[in-house]
Amino acid sequence: MTHCKGNRALLRLCVVLVAGVMLSAPTVGQVKPVKPTGKQPVKPTKQATGRKLVPLKIKLPKPAFKGTPKHVPPGTNLEKPRKGPRPPLMVPKGVRLISKGAKVTSSDSEPIIGELAMVTDGDKEAEEGSYVELGPGKQWVQIDLGRPYRIYAIVVWHAHANAIVYRDVVVQLADDRDFLKNVRTVFNNDHDNSSGLGIGKDKEYWETYEGKLISVDGQVARYVRLYSNGSTSDELNHYTEVEVYGQPVK
């Protein structure tokens, strides 16, 4: 600016040039964007809100078989094979299992095998006597959590003694037991709307000892309903266990 003294026109030009440099310079605390690595975090981290996030701990049953079939069953829309163990789901600290022993109802009030209470009894093993068998076609089971919770994850095990694919798996949340108020679909792999619940964008999957982990992102609900419509094995529907993880609503 010392060279600009004594000349108004030159002074204005210097002011404009200095202002432009200041605008283009990085501000204090500015951080350059970091390219994502594609790896899931395994250590505690924080949300934008400052809440501590930790890996969700899920107790898995024993594997009943190794690997998954390489052939694709006709008419399926399978997800791509995954290499290595399932990445952990990060949830707020304090999230816990809230569904064990919860009341279960169903579209099939008289199961062919087992009792509806087996859906939330904690037994996830791929053994005879560990699952409930519902009739053919579209059926659902519904879990009453007893009160509204902030739900972060749902894990469902159908029958996993063998690698099969269940059709039209749809998972919904609602505020009432009749599923008329604030119904939200959190998973839907019915790719052709054969169950009449809308076309889903999620993929079908092989049943394994890991179960299907569904992220729910803290939505508040009291009731969880899970649909299926037979499998690649037969037209019947099976549930070994359903686990819901969440926190009480404050």
**CATH number of the domain that 178 lies in?**
2.60.120.260
Domain membership of residue 12 (yes or no) is: no
The domain total for the chain is 1
Question: In this structure, what token pair is assigned to residue 163?
Answer: 């690698």
Q: Which of 83, 146, 147, 144 is nearest to 117 (CA)?
A: 144
Domain membership of residue 206 (yes or no) is: yes
H-run or E-run covering 144: strand 139-157
For the ranges 76-85, 122-131, 135-144, 157-166, the lowest mean pLDDT is seen at 76-85
Domain membership of residue 32 (yes or no) is: no
Domain membership of residue 224 (yes or no) is: yes
Domain membership of residue 137 (yes or no) is: yes
Instruction: Give the tens place of pLDDT for each residue, 27-68.
Output: 333 334 334 444 444 555 565 556 799 999 999 999 999 888
Domain containing residue 58: 45-248
Q: What is the mean pLDDT of the chain?
A: 86
In contact, 55 and 40? CB cutoff 8 Å: no
In contact, 209 and 59? CB cutoff 8 Å: no
Domain membership of residue 61 (yes or no) is: yes
Instruction: Give the tens place of pLDDT for each residue, 53-62.
Output: 999 999 999 9
Domain membership of residue 21 (yes or no) is: no
Instruction: Give the tens place of pLDDT for each residue, 166-201.
Output: 999 999 999 999 999 999 999 999 999 999 999 999
According to DSSP, residue 15 is labeled: H
In contact, 167 and 228? CB cutoff 8 Å: yes
d(CA 119, CA 99): 10
Domain membership of residue 27 (yes or no) is: no
Average pLDDT, stretch 119-132? 97
Instruction: Please give the model's pTM, rounded to 2 decimal places.
Output: 0.80
